[in-house]
């Protein structure tokens, strides 16, 4: 409860964002209506896949993978380079290996489902030079690898 109150004091919404990329992502995608699912993570995934037109994805959670696959067609699982990688638990070594071996590209999105239990790993991975945009949504985290973007971290109410 205390950690969530600290998050609320630190966080903002789209009004506090000066990055055009993140502002557009929030306003045109994440904050847009309608919600595609009652589950927050699933809703963010569905909206993000459609907004960025992702095709090549990797989702660890089998149940989530099935639900996403039932709602969206044309997705390819495990085809490289990956557009979207969804972790239940953040694995820094896997993120670094994917970036080092070309399994991801410039606009890949890493979504971490259970950020509350991955805080130490999160703080380490957002310091990596290839991770240029990080969004802390308290329960979930979003990481982007965008060369053209100045490194920025956002704490946003999703």
CA distance 80 to 90: 20
pLDDT tier at 118 (50, 70, 90 boundaries)?
Answer: confident
Q: What is the pLDDT of residue 119?
A: 86
pLDDT 10s digits, 134-156: 999 998 999 999 999 999 999 99
CA distance 58 to 36: 20
pLDDT at 10 over 90: no
Q: What is the pLDDT of residue 11?
A: 66
Q: What is the pLDDT of residue 3?
A: 78
pLDDT, average across residues 74-90: 95
User: What fold does the segment set 2-155 form as a domain?
Assistant: Rossmann fold (3.40.50)
Cβ–Cβ < 8 Å for 145, 106: yes
pLDDT 10s digits, 86-114: 999 899 999 999 999 999 999 999 999 98
pLDDT 10s digits, 15-74: 577 799 999 999 999 999 999 999 999 999 999 999 999 999 999 999 999 999 999 999
What is the residue whose two structure tokens read 């259970």? 114
Q: Of 87, 91, 78, which is closest to residue 109 (Cα–Cα)?
A: 87
pLDDT at 12 over 80: no
Cα 98 from chain centroid? 15
- Give me the residue spans of the domains in the chain: 2-155
Name 133's bridge partners.
144, 152
């Amino acid at each position: 409860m205390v950690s969530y109150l600290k998050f609320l004091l630190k966080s903002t919404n789209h009004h506090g964002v000066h990055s055009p990329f993140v502002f557009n992502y929030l306003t045109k995608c994440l904050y847009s209506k309608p919600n595609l699912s009652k589950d927050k993570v699933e809703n963010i995934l569905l909206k993000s896949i459609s907004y960025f037109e992702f095709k090549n994805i990797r989702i660890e959670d089998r149940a989530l993978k099935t639900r996403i696959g039932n709602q969206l067609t044309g997705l390819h699982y495990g085809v490289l380079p990956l557009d979207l990688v969804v972790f239940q638990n953040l694995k820094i070594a896997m993120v670094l290996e994917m970036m080092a071996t070309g399994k991801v590209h410039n606009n890949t999105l890493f979504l971490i489902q259970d950020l509350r239990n991955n805080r130490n790993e999160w703080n380490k991975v957002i310091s990596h030079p290839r991770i240029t945009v990080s969004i802390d949504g308290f329960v979930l985290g979003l990481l982007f690898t965008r060369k053209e973007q100045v490194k920025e971290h956002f704490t946003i109410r999703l």
